[in-house]
Structure 1
Amino acid sequence: MLDPIVNFFTRIFQWIGRGIGFAVGVILWPFMWAGHWYTQRGWILKAVLGLALLMLIGLYGYFIWNTQVWSNFNPAYAEAYNFTQPAGTAPAQPAPSATGETAGVEGEVKTCTNSAIVQVAADLIDFNVNENAWISSMILYKLGFFGMDWDRTPFLDNKASFQRGVNQAIRRTAVELVDTLGRVRGTSQIDQNLQDARGAITFDEETWYFGLRPFGPKTPTPSFYRTAASSLRAFNDRLMKCEVVFNARADNLLQFVDRIASDIGSTSDLIRDRSQNFNSGWFDTRADDRFWFAYGQLYGYYGILTAAHHDFQQILDNRGLTPLWNSVEGQLKAALAIQPLIISNGREDGWIMPTHLTTMGFYVLRVRSNLVEVRSVLDR
């Protein structure tokens, strides 16, 4: 009675086994053909091809290692900073404004001190390109996975997206340092160190040592970013020597917060679009890019806004904004605690696959909402 059933399932498993064997054979056939072809070549060609193969294996090993190992990654890194006046330096002094008057409490222009924002921005660049390899401009990342952009695959692209998110926060900060924070008034001269930093950090993120447009050798992206970090540190050195100013005015803080809120808002819209229009759960190969870009952006702003707390301490205390600012920092830290192994972009009402992208979007909106509230208090 049971023989027909047993025979049926036996044939099913045989077909499955043959199908798996056929698939494995198709995958291995190019390698077997290449191995057979290689054994029939002369020893000189064998040596050249063997050396090239070893170099390729080494490059891929180096590439995979750098995409998977995140050196000095610490979601609570901002807590390690101790923004205090360096020993032996003069206390911060109000500098003359463009009209010749000394700035008051709501218009403090600092000099002979250290800017925490500039320090953190330089440290984040160092984290991105010195403590870690800059993934986006590595030759194997640019070549992709058999011609397919790594961002369209479910693996080896998370660190690149994270680094670009951190870099986005640094770029926004560099622009504000040039336009407002590093000068007394909008009509005063732009500081050259900050200008150099802005130009270097806004360089494109994917340049390798050689390119086609234009054709020829190039300076790679990490070199430009290292120059930006050096320029930021040079500005801070001159600031401590009383040679330049840091304009910690309330209106500058208002603009800085407003620009950060707008920047985060753009990322929120990016997440919303992906979350609403692509609900493939664990099979959405672009969800991890959106998630880790947003994560990196919040990672960068966590340190920068913590630094701004120090640089604008007097303004925050006078306006009663310290509790609200602490709330922003707390929400950033809470968002950085979300580190799923695999990013899923499931439906919001789904019950099988989680919605990591929507969760990150929720935290991004919470941070933005609090920044908008800070801005409205400063605008009163």
Structure 2
Amino acid sequence: MLDPVYAFFRSLLAGIRRGFGLAFAAIVWPFLAVHGWYRDRGLIIKAAVGGIIVLFLGFNAYFFWQTQRWTGFDPDYVAKYDLAARTTVAGQELPSTTGAKACQPSAIVDVTADLIKFNVDDNAWISSMLAYRAGFFGVDWDNTPFFDNKASFQRGINQAVRRTATELVDSLGRVRGTSGINPDLQDARGNMQFDEYSWYFGLSPFGPKTPTPSYYRAAEKSLRKFNTSLAACGATFDTRADNFVQFLDRIASDLGSTSQILSDRSETAARGWFDFRADDRFWFAYGQLYGYYGLLSAAGADFSQVIRERNLTQVWAGTLAQTRAALNVQPWIISNGKEDGMFMPSHLSTMGFRILRVRSNLVELRGVLDR
């Protein structure tokens, strides 16, 4: 009675073996053909081809190493600034026992410059690497589940840095209506707006180019120059409450946009572990929160007087705690499953919820400051 069942499974297994065999043969055949051709060539051709193969393997090994090595990654990186020890707001003159005039540099500017350094000096800027731009046999790495998490994470940090550079120029680094734009901050903003994917050579327009990391390093240099000038009381950092409100409002708006991106992806492409773009969205959002955690912590030091005067110390501490808690979500494999799914979690929904909690705290702070 069971013989037909056994026969069915035997034929099924035999078919699977044949399928694997054909697939293996299809994969191996080009290599065997190339090996046969290579074996019959002369020494010079063998050396040239061998050199090309070695360069190709080394090129991709370097790319693999850079995408997997996250140098300096630390969700608690804010601790190194010892912001609690800063008792003077940014731009205010410091007490001096020597008679030399000195002012408090900006923690926001320090963190912004260090985030740029983290992206392009401590680590290779992945998005403009030739191997990343070439893709996986012509397929954009962002459309695969491989080697794109670090690039997305860096671009998320870069989003926070770009937003902050803009706010430094427009409001924080000047007294609105009575002072001009600081040239160092203006240079930093301009350089941070540069294309994230530029390599040494491009097709549109055709010709040599300055790569992305060079522009970002120039922005870092301009930011540090501004803070040096601020420490010598030669620049302005305006710590009025309305500037603080605007800064928080811009961050809340930025996070709201990212939350919507996560929500849209979660609702339209809930394929669990088989959504190969879910990791891009997740790590972009994570990088954005990683950057804003440091920048918000720095803002707490630069605007400490406003926080104390408005009795916001507890609410502000809660906002930073919520932001830091979101950085604990570090799944090994990103899954974009249904929210009520049993087997595949929805990491995009989880990150979106965390972002919305941070945003709601920022909106609450803004409301108190607006009163």
Question: What TM-score does the superposition give when structure 1 sets the normalisation length?
Answer: 0.92
Shift of 1:290: 0.5
Deviations 1:31-63 (A, max 9, x none): 222222222222222211211111110010000
Which of 170, 174, 180 matches 2:165? 174
Shift of 1:15: 2.1
Shift of 1:185: 1.8
Instruction: Please provide the CA RMSD for this pair.
Output: 1.9
**C-alpha separation between the residues in 2 aligned to 1:78 and 1:91?**
21
Could you say which residue in structure 1 is the equivalent of 2:191?
200
2:107 matches 1:116:
yes
Task: Please give the secondary structure, in 1, of the residue aligned with 2:323.
Answer: helix
2:220 matches 1:220:
no
Could you say which residue in structure 1 is the equivalent of 2:231?
240
Task: Please give the secondary structure, in 2, of the residue aligned with 1:246.
Answer: coil
Could you say which residue in structure 2 is the equivalent of 1:82?
82
Could you say which residue in structure 1 is the equivalent of 2:97?
none
Task: Please give the secondary structure, in 2, of the residue aligned with 1:320.
Answer: coil
Which of 141, 145, 152 matches 2:143? 152
Q: How many residues align?
A: 362
Shift of 1:202: 1.1
Shift of 1:69: 1.1
Could you say which residue in structure 2 is the equivalent of 1:284?
275
**C-alpha separation between the residues in 2 aligned to 1:62 and 1:186?**
51
- Cα 1:42–1:186 shift into 2, 3 Å: farther
Task: Please give the secondary structure, in 2, of the residue aligned with 1:41.
Answer: coil
Could you say which residue in structure 2 is the equivalent of 1:21?
21
**C-alpha separation between the residues in 1 aligned to 2:328 and 2:177?**
39
**Equivalences for residues 235-274 of structure 1 within 5 A:** 235-274=226-265
**C-alpha separation between the residues in 2 aligned to 1:187 and 1:377?**
27
Mean Cα deviation higher: 165-174 or 1-10: 1-10
**C-alpha separation between the residues in 2 aligned to 1:31 and 1:330?**
55
Alpha carbons 1:179, 1:186 under 8 Å: kept = no
Shift of 1:344: 0.5
Unaligned runs of 5+ in 2: 95-101
2:182 matches 1:191:
yes
Task: Please give the secondary structure, in 1, of the residue aligned with 2:196.
Answer: coil
Amino acid aligned to 2:211: P
Could you say which residue in structure 1 is the equivalent of 2:65?
65
Which of 353, 361, 366 matches 1:370? 361
Unaligned runs of 5+ in 1: 95-110
2:311 matches 1:303:
no
**C-alpha separation between the residues in 2 aligned to 1:41 and 1:354?**
54
**C-alpha separation between the residues in 2 aligned to 1:58 and 1:52?**
10
**C-alpha separation between the residues in 1 aligned to 2:223 and 2:35?**
53
Shift of 1:2: 5.9
**Percent of paired sites with the same residue:** 60
